[in-house]
Amino acid sequence: MDYDRYLRTDRLPTSWCAGCGNGTVMRAVIEVCDKLGWNERNTVAVSGIGCSGRTAGYFAFDSVHGPHGRALPIAEGIRMNRPDLNVIVVSGDGDLCGIGGNHLVHASRRDTVVKVILVDNEIYGMTGGQTAPTTPQGVKTITAPNGVWERPFNVQGIVKAHGSFYARSTTWHVRHLVKCVEAAFTHDGFAFVDAKSQCTSNYGRRLGFRTGYDMLMNFKEKYKIKDGAEWLAEHEIGVTAL
């Protein structure tokens, strides 16, 4: 397929660090858009602030780079005003689950037909490696040098509490990630894909991983596919049952 058709090639190469998972997530979105016929005439991409928030600006679709945490209300506004458009949100865990967490609650409750891809690297990577809402307990960050004491944000719980679509995959399980994105994009309602992704520069090295490849191998060993389950356990990935 012609990936360049879906990208603003004049903005390449991206600003992402070597080994980052953002490009893998972007590729998965492009593959599904190509299959479904979503293009620059019928699709809008929205993002917030952060490394993954830059994704919208690389797509050839019309795009909106919103203020921090406000990607979802912008996307909902677009969809409500233009129900003929496909509206995609690609942003990070700090943006969608931290400052934008309240919007996530209500977007899933309203079941607005918006497709959300969370690039979940468990850290505030762009600003230096601070604790994010999804950082696991016990992990040491620059803002929790003795280990994170808080429980991580339960993304699955928030989304599924309202009966909305939830799927989880990783940037190592590439074909499975594409499957999850396609299932989300063809779902008639609010749909959320939690894409576990690697941040090499401000997270992985602090955890003892030397390269992005090492982090991907960790995903391979740690996560097991369980499609069709009512609920995914901590290290399970899959498209959950509605």
**Confidence label for 129 from pLDDT (cuts 50, 70 and 90):** confident
Could you write out the DSSP letters of every residue in 32-88? HHHHHT--TTTEEEEE-SSTGGGHHHHBSSEEEE-STT-HHHHHHHHHHH-TTSEEE
Phi-psi region at 50: left, alpha or beta (left = phi > 0; alpha = psi -120 to 50)? left
| Average pLDDT of the residues in 14-35 | 95
pLDDT of res. 127 = 83
| pLDDT value, residue 126 | 81
61-70 tens-digit pLDDT: 999 988 888 9
Position 11 scores a pLDDT of 93
Work out the number of other CB atoms within 10 angstroms of the CB of residue 81: 8
Read off the pLDDT band of 72 (50, 70, 90): very high
pLDDT tens digits, residue range 174-196?
999 999 999 999 999 999 999 99
Please state the rounded mean pLDDT for residues 131-146.
92
CA pair distance 242, 229, nearest whole angstrom: 9
Residue 206's pLDDT is: 86
For each of the domains in the chain, give its residue range(s) and CATH number, in order of start. 3-239 (3.40.50.970)
pLDDT beyond 90 at 228: yes
